[in-house]
Amino acid sequence: MIRDRGRIKWNSLMLPEHVTMLRKWTEEDTYEQLKQSDEQKLEMLNDIAGVAMEFGKEVMITHFIDRHYKEVLGKIHYFDAINKEFRVVDKNGRMVRISAEKIDQMVIME
């Protein structure tokens, strides 16, 4: 059985600049792309946000930030129509600003 060490055996032959470039390149492979929303999905998100704000329900919002999709659990405090962003108070009491264009999914928690 051949025991190959992968990239480890080549690190001694590379310049430090090449090693950092390769690490950055492998990190870029994990980046995700922003999904485009259609009108029907935007209307559904609008309905869910309206119900959650009216009755003070907690929502789980999946949104695109820093080239990845992240989730926020909290209550929608306010919608800023000028900047088109939601202001959500999460479990720790922090105010999180979420752009409405970058929301992928919104679910009311029960």
Query: What's the rounded mean pLDDT across residues 79-84?
Result: 92
pLDDT tens digits for range 50-76: 999 999 999 999 999 988 899 999 999
DSSP 34: P
pLDDT at 107 over 90: yes
Give bridge partners of residue 72 from the DSSP assignment.
61
Hey, which residues does 85 pair with through a beta bridge? 80, 99
Task: Taking residues 6-14, report their average pLDDT.
Answer: 66
Amino acid at site 12: S
What does pTM read for this prediction? 0.74
Q: pLDDT tens, 17-47? A: 888 888 888 888 888 888 888 889 889 999 9
> What domains appear along the chain, each with residue ranges and CATH number?
39-108 (2.30.30.520)
What does the alpha-carbon distance between residue 17 and residue 54 come to, in Å, rounded to a whole number?
Answer: 54
Q: Is the dihedral of CA 6, 8, 11, 13 positive or negative?
A: negative
